[in-house]
Every structure is written in structure tokens, then in C-alpha cells.
Amino acid sequence: MQNGDEYHHPFFKLIKLSLFPLLINFMGLNHKKGKDMSLEALDQLQEKVQKMLEANALLQMEIEEFKEKNIVLEEKMNAISAQQKDLVDENNELKQEKTVWQNRLNSLLGKMDDI
């Protein structure tokens, strides 16, 4: 990501949407109901942050797995493409050979008709 783009990532938007109400709640409780309530809100906030970090780590691992699978599939696709090219080349050679044999046969049949 380019500088400044890292906070536009969907993960950070999710954090913003999920944590913003808790932050507002924490700030409001700090003034209204005392430290016990604000600690509870802070604990909730910390728990949400931890869950989001864990979810992000799992998603990153899943991305890495998909990248590895993609590499394997690309290798298989390249091998199949090479096989296909070889088969097309062989098919063209066989068609040419068939044409040569047909011409020879027609020539021989023409000579037999002359006899």
C-alpha cells in the first residue's frame, strides 16, 4: 500500500465502525459514571480490538494459503498448456502425413487405372 492508504483498507474501516461507538461510550462514561464503568468499556474495547486483530491474522493466513494454491494451479495450467501445444503440433504433423499418404495412394490408383 502507498503511504496513507493503509487506513483506507476495509479492515480499518471495520475497526472504525465497530470501535467508534465504544470509544464514544468510554469517553462519556469516564465523565458520568466513574472509573468502574469506564474500565468496563475499556475492557470491551480491548476485547474487540483483540478479536479484530485475531480475525485479521486469520485472514492474512488464508490469503497466504490462496496465494500458494494459486501458484500450484498456475504451474498445472502451464503444464497443461504445454501439453496442448504439443498435441496440436503432433496433430498437424499427422494431418500432413495423411495428406502425403492420400496423394501417394491416389497416384498409385491412377497408375493402376492406366494399366
pLDDT interval class at 114 (50, 70, 90): confident
- Average confidence (pLDDT) over 6-14: 58
Question: Cβ neighbours of residue 56 under 8 Å, at least 6 residues apart?
Answer: 11
In this structure, the chain runs to a length of 115
Q: What is the mean pLDDT of the chain?
A: 81
C-alpha cell at 90: 503432433
- Average confidence (pLDDT) over 19-27: 61
Cβ atoms of 59 and 67 closer than 8 Å: no
* pTM attached to this predicted model: 0.53
Cβ atoms of 11 and 52 closer than 8 Å: yes
Question: Higher pLDDT residue, 61 or 46?
Answer: 61
pLDDT interval class at 1 (50, 70, 90): very low
Q: Where are the domains of the chain?
A: 5-114
The amino acid at 38: S
- Average confidence (pLDDT) over 89-106: 97
- Average confidence (pLDDT) over 46-62: 91
Tell me: pLDDT of 82 over 70.
yes
Q: How far apart are CA 86 and CA 88, in angstroms?
A: 5
